[in-house]
Chains A and B, each alone.
Chain A
Amino acid sequence: MNCLKNFKTHTILLASMWLLFLVNVISPVPSALAQNASPKSMKNTVLILKADVKKNLGAYPWEFPHSLTVNSLAVAIDHNLFITLAENISGGMGFQLQKFGSPDLFDAEVIYTNYEVNIAFLQIKKSVDRPILNPIKIIDTALTPLDIADIVDRRTHSEVDFHEASLRSLSLGRSSTSYFILPYHVFDAATLARVTPGAPFLRDNKLAALAVMQKGQKIFALGAPIIDKVLQEYLQGGKKNSFGDLMLYAHPLESPDLRAYLKLRPGGVDQGILVTAIAKKSPFSDKIKAFDVITHVNGTGLNYYGEYEQEHFGLVSLAALLSGYGGNTPVSLDIIRQGSKVHVEAALAPFSSDKFTFSFKPDRTVIDHIILGGAIIQEINEDYLFKFDQNPEKWEENLPVDLAMLLSYQNDPYSHADRTYFVLREILPNIHVKGYERYRNLVIKSINNQGANSFQGLMESLKHPVSMNQKDFLVIEFYDHTFPFIMAQEHLGKANNIVKEKYQINEDAVFFPAISSKVGREIK
């Protein structure tokens, strides 16, 4: 109960998909010592990536005051194709690649990004002379525990650093660029104090993994199968394969009494995971019921925790055999229902990140927002939540209760899909918002009596002011019953003009949409 349910529910399924991918696509090979290239040759393979990026939002949804140049690494995998982590280019405005020991900067551009997996590809701009490179291939055999690889990192501006690392395990983790939890290769690198995001692990002169984060001497890295999957996505025109989703909730079946109640044969003869709820929109909604026990997915048996046995890595958390084949893929489930075996089949639902309560915008584009007479209204997204705590794992604790409930319970992705929440972030005081100065962080229920579920819907509702006492009003209602924000239409334009002038807001960055056509300009 004390976990981030919104993340967990989906991400475990998605992670399992990746695990399945790992298992199905790659055949493991025995361990062997890494045989890598020399530091000298690496200077033509691993380049310093200099990214001029916008980091976190500032006080207002149109400001990015924390811009800086971030140094990371990119790996040449073709003569003009470089791979790095998406987080390294997140919010990027300009990119340069630099060879170790050389002052020359090569202007580069991002050509493909998959934020969900945290991988991006760059190329050097065509107008620029390209440096001599020694690209490497992605390894086509999966590493298994205790395999050795060399991690290539940046010691100084001109020196490449090599460290030996051994693969220890697979572990689930969340990328900093998305809600998705992925399986990471966990390497043990005792001699490396601080890893650069995107540093490559090499084995047999091939790319085996990309470092993402470090905890102590453990380095979490994206493995070659995942890297290769994203590369194939890019090569096939950038069409992302949707994740598959059963759209149900399942829970471990630990209690022996519950197993007996469900008429599972004792002694572990019947194992599986308990279905606790199914979304109405689930492709299995008319096939599966609460209290069903899913014992097999496509013939693979599950234990009481929804895990299955994977060679080399042991039990792998999964619920997700369910989603193992991507969206729209048919799967078959074996079920025990009140002691009877049932077999059901259906195509998995495609999973969309839009289903999450609050959107994630790692590209750091300006967040949809509008200023209405001084009331700053914006979409609730992760950047907004970072205002309350920089650590997403603390959001359930530290967000205002209303927002935390939305995050963890209210906006159940299975039942409240495809909507956006908006917040009255704060008021820019002016004479027309007297009395409202203390309004802030109020989640909006409706604008002009119409539900504010999307920015387009919000903009549409502004065209239909509320008529009251022979006048037109803007009326914004809130979920927490705070008295609505009310402003007469005739005051809105004046208030907008005061706000623009008084707070020196750049009109290019801020929308002051026309409501009565007398004020401001049309939204893009």
Chain B
Amino acid sequence: MQVRTQISAFFYIVFLFIACTRVPLVQNLSTLRSSIFRITVTSQAPDWDKPWTNEKVITSYGSGFYIGSQHILTNAHVVKFAKQITLKGDRDPNIMEAHVTFVANDCDLALLTVDDPKYFKGKTPISLGEVPELSSKVTTVGYPSGNQELAVTEGVVSRLAYRTYSHPALSKHLLIQVDSAQNPGNSGGPVLQNGKAIGIAFQGARTLESTNFVIPIPIVKRFLRDIEDGHYDGEMQLDLSYSEDLLLNPSVREYLGMSTPNITGGVTIGHISPWSPFAAVLREYDVLLALDSLEVATDGTVPMFKERLPLDAYIDLKNWGDKISIQYMRSGSLHNETLVLTPPGSHFEPRLSFEKPKYVIYAGHVFTTLTFNYLLTFGRKWYDEAPLLLKRAFWDFEEEKDLARMEELVILSRRLPHKYTKYSGVYLNNIVVSIDDIAVQNLSHFNTKLKEKIAIGKPFFLNFWRGEKMGPLLLDPRQGEKVHQQILQEQNIEHEIYL
């Protein structure tokens, strides 16, 4: 059920504004406009199907704005896979090269800077504001369609919600819905109110009228706090499921021993991952009643920014290392705990990657890691077209004991055409769980063990998850070594490994 929701959300929120308004306080725009930049990006995405190659080079446009400390704030999707980034200021003929200092792909934010600190001289940093109220006026400023002229549109705040960010597609965060016009090129530009940025324009809904979305400032502030130590640790992972509305049901309340009449809210905890920061405290069947003294209602919401939003949205604003106090009920007894939100150990995460894909090629067999990007190589209907085992492994790896222990899922993704690989087709898109009896942990570990086996020079087996029916794949280094370099040369592959 959860997977379907994510899929539909992913395709519902669709277009990103890579390419703003009469400001309510018009007097400020003349001051602020020189702090809003057009960003031109030349990028080249990797090819997850052939990980040793890249897609063609493309040029795209976005917007960004100066927030002080030599930093321009924009969207991560504006600068993804960037080979070159240039800035052009409002009514400024100069073009300045920029580079990424921090990127948060999980919440679509990035910070850029330039090498020449004088570039920002005379430019007023745009202050970060607060979460705006519903129906209040906002002004979107940016460079839609990649045009050189600053464009300004005006609208109101329509909604505050917790929805999927289409970059990176699999994460939900707080967002503001506005009806001011936004178009490709607006991405990364500020949405202003009273001379302050209340958010960053980043995506819209293609099928809905005047429905555009803005990343609110609390998300930006979480990102900025995270990088204070010079490293981005990433978004908070809840890694547990809870059931909305079930505590409206008297049977469930009675079963869980919730006879206390003054407790009317709460949600039941369903599955909790061993990697959840709450795993040390909460268990299945617990009832979560409050977070930091905010009462959790039966629909899973807490009061935030004068609205009621899912508790996930509240936790999402926390940084790793923050404390959180929770109140929960177990077997009819109330418990209060305060815990430090500690990042989990290394484990497989079903995510979209924005880094060059890892791969290992041996004797015409291409091994890579299972990512969302790889599933997308099966097309827009990947949720139908991708092999069942890959879909299961990606979404439900925790349920499969052979996979849950792995940090990365190593798949045999391709066989390069050659007589030696001719019989390996049946094993494609299967997950390697072991080499002989050595359990694979990740692609790097796989590569190490592969090399050791090759050095021994005797045939060895690759065993695949759920591969009982087809049996293992035998690789014989005595034959493999003869053809390995030849296949690489034939395919013009310069590097046999990228880890």
Which residues does A use to contact B, with CB under 8 Å?
1-2, 5, 9, 249, 251, 254-258, 260-261, 274, 276-277, 290-291, 396-398, 400-401, 404-405, 408-409, 412, 432-436, 468-469, 471, 473, 475, 480-483, 486-488, 491
Contacts and interface: CB of A to CB of B under 8 A. Distances in A.
A2 B427 CA distance: 11
A291 B471 CA distance: 9
Given A435-B249, A488-B254, A481 B469 contact: no
A436 B268 CA distance: 13
B contact patch SS: mixed
Interface in B364-397: 384-385, 387-389, 391-392, 395-396
Contacts of B426: 1, 251
12 contacts: A1-B430, A1-B470, A251-B470, A257-B479, A276-B469, A397-B384, A397-B385, A401-B392, A412-B468, A432-B249, A468-B257, A488-B255
Given A1-B429, A435-B249, A468-B255, A483 B387 contact: no
B252 A486 contact: yes
A482 B426 CA distance: 35
B246 interface: yes
A409 B466 contact: yes
A475 B459 contact: no
Interface of B: 1, 3-4, 241, 243-252, 254-255, 257, 259, 268, 270-271, 284, 298, 332, 384-385, 387-389, 391-392, 395-396, 422-424, 426, 428-430, 459, 466, 468-471, 474-476, 479
Contact of B474 (A258, A290, A432): A258
Contacts of B247: 435
Nearest to A412: B468
A488 B270 contact: no
A290 to B, nearest CB: 7
A434 B243 contact: no
B328 to A, nearest CB: 15
Contacts of A251: 426, 469-471
Contacts of A276: 468-471
A469 B254 contact: yes
A257 B387 contact: no
A contact patch SS: mixed
A486 B270 CA distance: 13
B250 to A, nearest CB: 7
A487 B474 CA distance: 54
Which of B255, B259, B470 lies at the interface centre, i.e. has the most chain A CB atoms within 10 A of its CB? Answer: B255
A475 B268 CA distance: 15
Contacts of A256: 423
B248 A1 contact: no
A414 to B, nearest CB: 10
A435 B271 contact: no
Given A1-B429, A258-B474, A486-B252, 9 more contacts: A255-B423, A276-B470, A277-B469, A401-B388, A404-B392, A432-B251, A473-B254, A486-B255, A488-B255
Contacts of A480: 1
B248 A434 contact: yes
A401 B395 contact: yes
A434 B249 contact: yes
A471 B476 CA distance: 64
Contact of B271 (A9, A469, A481): A481
B392 A277 contact: no
Contacts of A396: 388
Contact of B389 (A1, A255, A473, A491): A1
A142 B45 CA distance: 61
A255 B474 contact: yes
Contacts of B389: 1, 409
Nearest to B476: A257
- Give the 8 A-B CB pairs with smallest separation, nearest first: A276-B471, A481-B271, A435-B245, A255-B423, A435-B246, A483-B243, A254-B423, A488-B251
Contacts of B476: 257, 260-261
Contacts of A435: 243-249, 252, 298
Contact of A5 (B1, B252, B469): B469
Given A255-B474, A396-B388, A401-B388, A471 B254 contact: yes
A257 B459 contact: yes
Nearest to A262: B474
Given A397-B385, A434-B245, A257 B474 contact: yes
Nearest to B259: A469
Contacts of B384: 397-398
A249 to B, nearest CB: 5
A405 B393 CA distance: 11
B372 to A, nearest CB: 15
Which of A401, A408, A471 lies at the interface centre, i.e. has the most chain B CB atoms within 10 A of its CB? Answer: A401
A482 B424 CA distance: 39
Contacts of A486: 249, 251-252, 255
A241 B175 CA distance: 65
Given A468-B255, A482-B1, A290 B471 contact: yes
Contacts of B459: 257, 261
A151 to B, nearest CB: 38
Nearest to A474: B251
B332 A1 contact: no
Given A261-B476, A481-B270, A481-B271, A433 B249 contact: yes
Nearest to B478: A257
B469 A249 contact: yes
B255 A2 contact: no
A405 B474 contact: no
A291 B470 CA distance: 11
Contacts of B392: 401, 404-405
Contacts of B429: 1
Contacts of B270: 481-483
A491 to B, nearest CB: 6
A468 B251 CA distance: 11
Given A1-B387, A277-B469, A434-B245, A473 B430 contact: no
Contacts of A469: 254-255, 257, 259, 332
B245 A401 contact: no
Contacts of B250: 488, 491
A9 B470 CA distance: 11
A483 B245 CA distance: 11
Which of B270, B429, B459, B469 lies at the interface centre, i.e. has the most chain A CB atoms within 10 A of its CB? Answer: B469
A483 B241 CA distance: 9
B111 to A, nearest CB: 38
Nearest to A404: B388
Contacts of B474: 255, 257-258, 261
A473 B255 CA distance: 7
Contacts of B471: 249, 251, 274, 276-277, 290-291
Contacts of A487: 251
Nearest to B386: A397
A293 to B, nearest CB: 11
